[in-house]
Amino acid sequence: MESSVGIVEKQYFTFAAPPEKFILESGAELGPITIAYETYGTLNKNKNNAILLAHAFSGDSHVAGHYATDKDGEKPGWWDFLIGPGKGIDTNKYFVICPNILGSCMGSTGPSSINPDTGSPYGLDFPMMTIGDMVITQKALVDYLEITQLRAVIGGSVGGMQVLEWCVRYPGMVQAALPIATTMRHSALAIAFNEIARQSIMADPNWANGNYYGGDRPNMGLAVARMVGHVTYLSDEAMRRKFGRRLQDKESFSFGFDGDFQVESYLRHQGSKFVHRFDANSVLYITKASDYFDVVDQMGASGPLKGDPSLKIKYLVVSYSSDWLYPTYQAKELVQTLKRSGQDVSFCEIEADCGHDAFLVPDNRLTLLLKGFIDGISSN
């Protein structure tokens, strides 16, 4: 139960209640919208010490600390090693905000939320959304908190896509941007894996075209989808080191389909754990938003990625050497794109054999990198 952040609480911000309208990029309307979020540290008088964290695909707003209701042995938030007094992102200095993304199932409005028009969960009536939509709702939260300037926007993976969207949509509000283990456009390979995850869910008869909330859930399909995800988060090297060909609880082959190898048990465990905490429809919507993500070409964006050198954001792009979902060559493409538009960009590739998930693994190199970079940004 160790966490230097201590006890934290999930908060909620609701906006766009009808007749107010929130228009998504697709043109669809959605409202009211609730964004769950957590904060750490204290907003200073000038309101210029805020840092926004954007979480990854299946993450949530619970970045650090414990809830008062946590049981013994419960893990703290997902970036607890980075967030806290004196840590990489120092809550003695900064006011850290992490919103749960639109479309998720961790407190923010998503397909499992109640549709006010019907009194039942949205299911597939939830409108398709984009990374841009996620960021627009985050901006609404930041406005509500009366913050006009973010010292930094930081995020890994799908969180890194949100970072880039922030820079495109609200460049005047962002002092520093730290896109980590991410890409400026989803590749065919990444789309392929997401499509397999979606097809796996939609192939489960319990999915019932998204209307499963009153009955059995598409847990089998969702578990397979998660197994696919987990393989993409690891790497050949990591799996060789972590599992190799070691057998699980047996000394020789079973000659059956119950699983022989540790890697099989691991994946099955990850799959069955996930169905208890995540909503299958949220997987569909969030993966689709990632697939649509192409911050340069398919967005009509007009921010610094398109080239407005007057709006100087300080970028730190971080990639991991064994990440094959968003490989280093894609981070370099991002760096080049930013450089070409005259931006102030630093780039670090961290050598790590644990694949895409490396940014979630405690690593002092990331901690020191972030600390040095963020502390070097002067307040306006």
Backbone angles phi, psi at 316, to 5 degrees: -125, 110
Of 120, 149, 166, 140, residue with least CA distance to 14: 140
- Based on the shown chain and the rule CB under 8 A, indicate whether residue 268 belongs to the binding site for a second copy: yes
Helix (H) or strand (E) holding 319: strand 314-320
Q: d(Cα 100, Cα 282) in Å, to the nearest integer? A: 12
**Residue choice 23, 261, 333, 348 for contact with a second copy (CB under 8 A):** 261
Comparing CB distances to a second copy, the nearer of 213 and 243 is 243
CA-based end-to-end distance of the chain? 37
Catalytic residue (choose from 61, 113, 157, 235) = 157
Active site residue 356: yes
The residue among 296 and 311 lying less far from a second copy, judged by its C-beta, is: 296
Is 55 designated active site?
no
User: Using the rule CB under 8 A, is 198 a contact of a second copy?
Assistant: yes
Instruction: Output 40 or 293, the one with its CB closest to a second copy.
Output: 293
Report the nearest approach of a second copy to the CB of residue 225 (Å).
9
Binding mask 294-313 for a second copy (x = CB under 8 A): x--xx---------------
Contact assessment for residue 65 and residue 81, using Cβ atoms and an 8 Å cutoff: no
Distances from the Cα of 333 to the Cαs of 185, 246, 305, in angstroms?
10, 38, 12
| 193 near a second copy, rule: CB under 8 A | yes
**Do the Cβ atoms of 295 and 326 come closer than 8 Å?**
no
> Using the rule CB under 8 A, is 17 a contact of a second copy?
no
Q: Does 93 bind a second copy (CB under 8 A)?
A: no
Residue 238 corresponds to which tokens in the numbers above?
């990591």
Is 179 a binding residue for a second copy by CB under 8 A? The answer is no
Per CB under 8 A, residues contacting a second copy are: 26, 28, 124, 127-128, 185-189, 191-193, 195-196, 198-200, 202-205, 220-221, 223-224, 227-228, 231, 234, 236, 239-240, 242-245, 253, 255-257, 259-261, 263-264, 267-268, 271, 284, 288, 291-292, 294, 297-298, 324, 327
